[in-house]
Amino acid sequence: MKTNRRNFLRTTAAATAGTMLVSPAFAMNSAKSRYQISLAEWSFHKALFADEMTNLDFPKVTRELGIDGVEYVNQFFKDKAKDEKYLGELKKIAKNEGVTNVLIMCDGEGMVGHPEKAERLKTVENHKKWVDAAAFLGCHSIRVNAGSRGTYEEQQKLAADGLRMLCEYGDTQKINVIVENHGGLSSNGDWLSGVMKMVDHKRVGTLPDFGNFMINRDTGEEYDRYKGVELLMPYAKGVSAKTNVFNAAGDEANMDYYRLMKIVDEAGYKGFVGIEFEGTELSEREGVLATKALLEKVFKTL
CATH number at residue 190: 3.20.20.150
The whole-number pLDDT of residue 31 equals 58
Residue 20 placed within a domain: no
Q: What whole-number distance in Å separates Cα of residue 44 and Cα of residue 194?
A: 33
CB 217 within 8 A of CB 242: no
Nearest to 152 by CA among 94, 100, 198: 198
Helix (H, G, I), strand (E, B) or coil at 6: helix
Question: What's this model's pTM, rounded to 2 decimal places?
Answer: 0.89
- Helix 225-232 with 189-199: angle, nearest 10 deg: 10
What is the number of structural domains in the chain?
1
CB atoms within 10 A of CB 286: 13
**Domain interval for residue 93:** 35-299
Residue 16 placed within a domain: no
Phi/psi region, residue 222 (left: phi>0; alpha: psi -120 to 50; beta: rest), is: beta
CB 69 within 8 A of CB 272: yes
pLDDT tens series, the chain, 302 aa: 333 333 333 333 333 333 333 333 333 444 557 999 999 999 999 999 999 999 999 999 999 999 999 999 999 999 999 999 999 999 999 999 999 999 999 999 999 999 999 999 999 999 999 999 999 999 999 999 999 999 999 999 999 999 999 999 999 999 999 999 999 999 999 999 999 999 999 999 999 999 999 999 999 999 999 999 999 999 999 999 999 999 999 999 999 999 999 999 999 999 999 999 999 999 999 999 999 999 999 999 99
Nearest to 47 by CA among 34, 60, 33: 60
